[in-house]
Chains A and B, each alone.
Chain A
Amino acid sequence: MRPEVALPVLLPLLSGAISLLFWRSRAMQRFVAVAGNIALLVVSLWLFVSTLSDGYVTMQMGSWPAPFGITLIADLLSAVMVLMTSIIGLAMGIYSLATTGRGHEKFGYYPLMHLLLAGVMGAFLTGDIFNLYVWFEVMLVASFALLILGGERAQMEGAIKYVTLNLLASVIFLTAVGLLYGMVGTLNMADIALRMDEAEHTGMVEVLAVMFMVAFGIKAAAFPLFFWLPASYHTPPVAVSALFAGLLTKVGVYAMFRVFTLMFDQTMGYLQEIMLWGAGFTMVTGVLGAAAQHEFRRILSFHIVSQIGYMILGLALYTPLAIAGGVFAIVHNMVVKTNLFLISGITHRLQGTYQLKKMGGLYRERPWLAVAFFLSAFSLAGIPPLSGFFAKFVIVRAGLEVEAYVVTGIALAVGLMTLYSMVKIWNEVFWKSLPEDNDVPETATPTGDDGRLLKPSLWMMYLPVMVLALFSLLIGVLAEPIMWVMMGIGDQLFEPSGYIEAVLGVAASADDVLLEPASGGAAPEVNAEEEAP
């Protein structure tokens, strides 16, 4: 019994439920939002420490033995993702206190935020492929509702694209799960991995691998499947944008890492080529799209796409070092990208617009904000000694080792182009003086997204921004111990036997499992169904 694996999923569900109980009390919901996220961070740290010492932490739901019940498992990758998610969650909890208008709070902003976190955590921790689908849906439904809070026209238009393409991805995922079950007769990911090695190798395996790649590719916003992202991410309230930017696409990338290293490792030779090109095009189209934009959040949205390319490149190169680099890129990107969105929220509060042309003069007015932006933006572009440099360095190094020179060259060039966009924002927002036609709103009377007066002052927005900027700097300074953890992840993902043993037990082999009747199969699935709605 290892409660620390289940707690990161249960705690946000619980906080969400408590939040719902206090539907009418705004103060109580705000308190639960922050307290719940602090508790989540503590639990995630606990999980991280135990995976560091033990390698794998598993728990069988309802005590059904492994291939029949739902397994929760944390390896180092899951634990790191859970830890980063809870850090982002806490930052968002505090930031939301200052930016979320009463109107949004009344429509259940905080319970939805907890539900979203629960979905993300569940996706990171589950060891069952159908359960992964269920958690994806939990996360999606929460994100749908958050995306349209406020009901502006732009939000509706963005939401239709977001909802359609993400549902399409879900159906492709579900279809692939169904076909996979028809082929191997199990849903437990470790068990699937075991049976896949023995299954007669027909073309079906490749078809399934490509279906999973397309489904997760849509969710991760990879080229050429990313169009929902820049169409929708700049429309919701800024705290929601930041939360999405930090978490959602990364869950898609995580699922890719998990599925392709564990279950489809024998098809990687075949898929590598497609993934390499996909990663290259993702990086280039994202960064070019950003170069054409003049709206703060749109530029950042396109840069999400471009950064996803680096993460997929880490997987596509498929060496332990490259995977370590890819995960490093995920960790770095979660911090930095969230922070850039948070900063865009502050500048919007200060100058009343997201249009770069209408902004200016913030370097003189708010030097510390400028410093925070400087750290995050240059980290995104990969300037040493910030976090982005090391992520990029490891991936490029791994690319040179396997002699994938073209795509490595693209990765380096895209870094330069990223710098161009970031310098554009820096020049327009911070460096040039404020254009005269801008009627700057009174900062003394900050308003929420719904235009009503808000009490808490700017420091609640500054606090998470400063902490995250410092965090990006720290990741750069402490790159060596972090790289040590990342190499551990690379080795674990590259050697899936450890994962399989942790789930199925040391003695279990495919033959033992096959002889046992599938008597316990139905009951645990019913659990999943109860969690779903």
Chain B
Amino acid sequence: MNQKYMIYMYLLKARTFIALLLVIAFFSVMVPNFLTASNLLIMTQHVAITGLLAIGMTLVILTGGIDLSVGAVAGICGMVAGALLTNGLPLWNGDILFFNVPEVILCVAIFGVLVGLVNGAVITRFGVAPFICTLGMMYVARGSALLFNDGSTYPNLNGMEALGNTGFATLGSGTLLGVYLPIWLMIGFLVLGYWLTTKTPLGRYIYAIGGNESAARLAGVPIVKAKIFVYAFSGLCAAFVGLIVASQLQTAHPMTGNMFEMDAIGATVLGGTALAGGRGRVTGSIIGAFVIVFLADGMVMMGVSDFWQMVIKGVVIVTAVVVDQFQQKLQSKVILMRRHEEKLAALPPNGATSS
């Protein structure tokens, strides 16, 4: 009886991974060329975009918050990169400062962190609900991205030899050991996110805040600092997504990242992170991102119409939460049963009849 429950429990815990295996198995049968190394690499390169956002989003959601601004922040970060590469940075005395590519990337990363810091500061210092604050930031960032070049794109971000800012394409399409750089970035952020959430005191704080904020405060957890950190981290992830997309397309488009936040939240939820906070893993979110993107790309390869793709994506996300709720119920049931058994075992054999 108990054994059976335990097997269900393990299956449910690994559900995102099982879903991923099912997706891969299904498309491997249905679509020739799906299970080739080059296709898996291309798809993983697509995963990197959703995955990076999902890593930042996971940390935010673990604290019980949400960051709706990531897509728009990615958009504006792409525009900042585009402006720095195309027009440079005008200084007060009429000079124009041009950066080389690593410096541009650094500037944009700092910009993303700053936007995240503003989110975190408004949420913690002024008590604005994360949903509202980041919704506002979403509009501000999108509007600003459009204002940047009057709604136009910055095309041909190849840089100029004379200005020493060539090579921006490497970030999005370059490879290291045969694997695209965005994938390495995702792996880097995954390791960083995993280490932060599981090996550091900050990680414990993040889980504690999401689990029970009042209790965490009473226990002396630095809530403000931890929260500001997660939004800044999410901003950093968004900045890299903006850079990657702009680099891949060689174009900074102000509407880049529209609805990306929804894919990131979808991936996070698919990966078993509870929207209420306190429960979830970064690794789960990455697997969630794999499921969403492999599903989308597989359907494109199969030739499924775009309208159906949306329907199927929605169904998958909601099903994931239904299964998650089921797991929660089962888990509390198993815990209760185990307590009951422990209690029975602890009682002297003859005392058991007294109740």
A binds B: no
